Chains A and B, each alone.
Chain A
């Protein structure tokens, strides 16, 4: 573990928090601009150049609104719940490594607030605690729509938490560590292929060795942050506004900000795990280029979020849960199995005789044929459906 002294960690953490909050504010601007482009509009243009002052105007508006508490609400829980989601969201930034040691004004300091040796799990744990903000707020509102939204959020986040965690196990196996800094360092090696005498050298980013995990992670991350097309807990066409129906003013904005910070943290996390984080051409030699690379990758993920929102219709809730348990979970488990297998063979820790390969291939083919036949047999006939 590499550590900063406590006061340095506090300063770095404070700067990171400030940067994240600013980034979150401009994330709302970015979302409005991008969505507007998707819909052939201009988005905010009046407040400052390109509408850049829009987040400020929004903040003033939200702060000026009345903070209502419903008469039937569980008052203390109602007031505390939005703070939970906001705090858990922003703490996640503290374990993201923005780079190694640099020197500013003669001080040596590391560009992360804390190098926890289970950093990746810390982010997962914060996500699972953050759901209490939604569930408790929904419960305390004493409103049926809020309650339904809270129930959906609880079920959704528990399910996708499992998928999200399992999709990362392959990376942990390859890197041999749960520390985000060590995962970052492991990705700075070169991945060398020898194809037909040609030696191709690629960066050892885990998107190349774990492509299936990457896709599973992307889907699960969207569901984990309650974003479209998985924003069932706040589906406005069914549940008014879902879990935050009764919230107004600054407490509503805490939910709102929490969601955006969650998106940023999950995107930073994804860039660090799959896209090499601060790694890139020239990142080691040029001062500050690593951070630029990391932020560029993060913005790419954020754009992907917005792209999804502008493109896809909302899922039905049973479909959402079905994807998690019936598709993503088995795929993630198979990915773990496969990764472990390949790693054992690549490290020459086991050697497998030829007949095992043949038996395995036959069994696999048999299973595939049987499942496809079974699917065909289970498909409902048109005549049986007519009566329903």
Chain B
């Protein structure tokens, strides 16, 4: 056997095994690591096929950028809060098994029959070498022959990015209210109340703070009183700070 074949079978074995590992691994981070390994081996296969540019792009885009982002999100999420991928209902397991078998049969039939092969394109080794290599050949196909499609795809992606940014933008008003409520002690006084009132933000969930009725006065140590409010603006003298004219200081000192 040639060295190239040995290398190919090694790469292919690791690739298939790590692909299986993506599905089998219990931890989502381990799945991501197996996916990295799988992508790197696919890149190696591209190199063996003489498509170095494609291989490097595969590594930079998928391994270097997308999977880093996946890991980024996985690291921020508590693993216990992720849905459990391995406790499907029996019906799900059986249907999954059947669908998987059908897919496997289809792929097997396609490989053995070779009837799904398309027509041979213009990218023969001689043509590719004539323009100076596969990077140049790919560039010609992308930016000369299919320029319009390329521009349309980039526009669609740009729209998607802008859409994602718009969706992720915080509601400005809510953001300011929350920041004032949580980040600072509210210095506003409810009119006619002595002591130091401490306005607390509305808190979700079952914490005792949220359960308190608005305006509930509670004695703390000594004669100080703490005031429980749901909306910090209800007890500030200045009123709605974001409705205040721009040139006015937000909080009187």
Q: Which chain A positions have C-beta within 8 A of B72? A: 135, 151, 154-155
| A117 in contact with B135 (CB, 8 Å) | yes
Q: Which chain B positions have C-beta within 8 A of A125? A: 56, 59-60, 63-64
Which B70-108 residues sit within 8 Å CB-CB of chain A? Answer: 71-72, 75-76
Q: Given the interface contacts A135-B71, A178-B135, does A384 sit within 8 Å of B250 by beta carbon?
A: yes
* B210 close to A (CB within 8 Å): no
| A388 in contact with B250 (CB, 8 Å) | yes
Q: Which chain B positions have C-beta within 8 A of A139? A: 29, 71, 75
- The distance in angstroms between the C-alpha atoms of A74 and B27, with both chains bound, is 11
Q: Which of the 9-residue segments A44-52, A64-72, A126-134, A274-282 touches chain B? A: A126-134
- The distance in angstroms between the C-alpha atoms of A121 and B249, with both chains bound, is 54
* A364 close to B (CB within 8 Å): no
* A383 close to B (CB within 8 Å): yes
Closest to A140 in B: B29
| B68 in contact with A118 (CB, 8 Å) | no
Q: Is the interface of B mostly helix, strand, loop or mixed?
A: helix
* A150 close to B (CB within 8 Å): yes
Q: Which chain A positions have C-beta within 8 A of B59? A: 125, 128-129
| B64 in contact with A136 (CB, 8 Å) | no
Interface footprint category on B = 20 to 34
| A117 in contact with B133 (CB, 8 Å) | yes
Which A155-192 residues sit within 8 Å CB-CB of chain B? Answer: 155, 157-158, 161, 165, 178
Closest to B66 in A: A158
Closest to B71 in A: A135
* B202 close to A (CB within 8 Å): no
| B52 in contact with A118 (CB, 8 Å) | yes
| B247 in contact with A383 (CB, 8 Å) | yes
Q: Which chain B positions have C-beta within 8 A of A165? A: 60
- The distance in angstroms between the C-alpha atoms of A157 and B59, with both chains bound, is 15
Q: Which chain B positions have C-beta within 8 A of A129? A: 40, 59, 63-64
| A121 in contact with B60 (CB, 8 Å) | yes
- The distance in angstroms between the C-alpha atoms of A155 and B29, with both chains bound, is 17
- A86-126: contact bitstring with B at CB < 8 Å (1 yes, 0 no)? 00000000000000000000000000000011100110110
Closest to A135 in B: B71
- The distance in angstroms between the C-alpha atoms of A154 and B53, with both chains bound, is 24
| A135 in contact with B75 (CB, 8 Å) | yes
- The distance in angstroms between the C-alpha atoms of A121 and B54, with both chains bound, is 11
Minimal beta-carbon separation of A114 from chain B (angstroms)? 11
- The distance in angstroms between the C-alpha atoms of A139 and B73, with both chains bound, is 12
Q: Given the interface contacts A117-B135, A136-B33, does A128 sit within 8 Å of B65 by beta carbon?
A: yes
* A299 close to B (CB within 8 Å): no
- The distance in angstroms between the C-alpha atoms of A161 and B29, with both chains bound, is 23
| A384 in contact with B75 (CB, 8 Å) | no
* B69 close to A (CB within 8 Å): yes
* A326 close to B (CB within 8 Å): no
Minimal beta-carbon separation of B201 from chain A (angstroms)? 17
* A381 close to B (CB within 8 Å): yes
- The distance in angstroms between the C-alpha atoms of A155 and B72, with both chains bound, is 8
| A122 in contact with B64 (CB, 8 Å) | no
* A207 close to B (CB within 8 Å): no
Minimal beta-carbon separation of A123 from chain B (angstroms)? 10
- B21-40: contact bitstring with A at CB < 8 Å (1 yes, 0 no)? 00000010110010010001
| B60 in contact with A158 (CB, 8 Å) | no
| A154 in contact with B251 (CB, 8 Å) | no
- A364-382: contact bitstring with B at CB < 8 Å (1 yes, 0 no)? 0000000000000000010
- The distance in angstroms between the C-alpha atoms of A77 and B29, with both chains bound, is 10
| A135 in contact with B249 (CB, 8 Å) | no
Closest to A387 in B: B250
- The distance in angstroms between the C-alpha atoms of A258 and B135, with both chains bound, is 30
* B126 close to A (CB within 8 Å): no
* A336 close to B (CB within 8 Å): no
* A257 close to B (CB within 8 Å): no
Closest to B65 in A: A158
- The distance in angstroms between the C-alpha atoms of A210 and B166, with both chains bound, is 36
Q: Which chain A positions have C-beta within 8 A of B30? A: 77
* B194 close to A (CB within 8 Å): no
Minimal beta-carbon separation of B156 from chain A (angstroms)? 19
* B2 close to A (CB within 8 Å): no
Minimal beta-carbon separation of A248 from chain B (angstroms)? 22
* A286 close to B (CB within 8 Å): no
Which B234-249 residues sit within 8 Å CB-CB of chain A? Answer: 241, 246-249
- The distance in angstroms between the C-alpha atoms of A124 and B59, with both chains bound, is 10
* A386 close to B (CB within 8 Å): yes
- The distance in angstroms between the C-alpha atoms of A116 and B43, with both chains bound, is 14
Show the binding face of B for A, using Cβ within 8 Å: 27, 29-30, 33, 36, 40, 52-53, 56-57, 59-60, 63-65, 68-69, 71-72, 75-76, 133, 135, 241, 246-251, 253
Show the binding face of A for B, using Cβ within 8 Å: 74, 77, 116-118, 121-122, 124-125, 127-129, 131-132, 135-136, 138-139, 147, 150-151, 154-155, 157-158, 161, 165, 178, 381, 383-384, 386-388
10 closest A-B pairs (Cβ-Cβ)? A128-B64, A387-B250, A125-B59, A121-B56, A387-B251, A125-B60, A154-B72, A118-B52, A118-B56, A387-B249
Offer 11 A-B interface pairs, CB within 8 angstroms, sorted by A. A117-B133, A124-B60, A128-B60, A136-B33, A136-B71, A138-B75, A139-B75, A158-B69, A178-B135, A383-B247, A387-B250
